[in-house]
Amino acid sequence: MSRVGAAGAATGASVPVVWDFLGYHFEAGPLIVAICATLMTRLIVSLNTPTRPKVLLDVAVTMLSVLVSALWVQANALALLPAGLSGIGFGTMGITIITLAKGPAGTALKAAFRAFLGSMNTPPK
């Protein structure tokens, strides 16, 4: 026999906390789990890096990973476990982004970006 509250709903049932941000409604629990999983993964990766750390790059990639993870959880209305696994997945994708940015591909992209900016400063002939 279940207890019934004043509103007629069972008091033993849990109701998820729903937050509202810029008009979007989402459950708070999965979002917090995804953000924490992403941050923990990025921290573990950063602390286990044997090379000299590039703090600004690492912070930028971490923030990008957290943002993408939060958007993924909100867009797909994930439960706790899939949200945590998604956070870990997006946190580990940051390893690939940093590896590309530090390697030859990053150097080539920087050179291309500098050439592009240089061509924008010269007046057309």
Residue 64 within any structural domain of the chain: yes
Round to whole Å and give the CA distance between 70 and 107.
Answer: 30
Residue 107 within any structural domain of the chain: yes
Q: Give the range of the structural domain holding residue 51, as residue numbers without chain letter.
A: 18-113
Residue 42 within any structural domain of the chain: yes
Q: Residue 33: which residues within 8 A CB-CB, separation 6 or more?
A: 80, 83, 84, 87
Residue 81 within any structural domain of the chain: yes
Residue 95 within any structural domain of the chain: yes
Q: pLDDT averaged over consecutive 10-residue blocks of the chain (125 residues)? A: 51 79 84 94 84 80 91 90 92 80 78 81 65
For residue 52, which amino acid is it? R
Query: CB-side exposure of 78: number of CA atoms within 13 Å?
Result: 22
Pairing of strands 18-21, 24-27: antiparallel
Structural domain count, the chain = 1
Predicted confidence at residue 1, as pLDDT, reads 43
Predicted confidence at residue 2, as pLDDT, reads 46
DSSP state of 103: S
pTM above 0.85, yes or no: no
Residue 4 within any structural domain of the chain: no
Helices 55-76 and 80-102: crossing angle in degrees, nearest 10, is 150
Residue 125 within any structural domain of the chain: no
Predicted confidence at residue 56, as pLDDT, reads 83
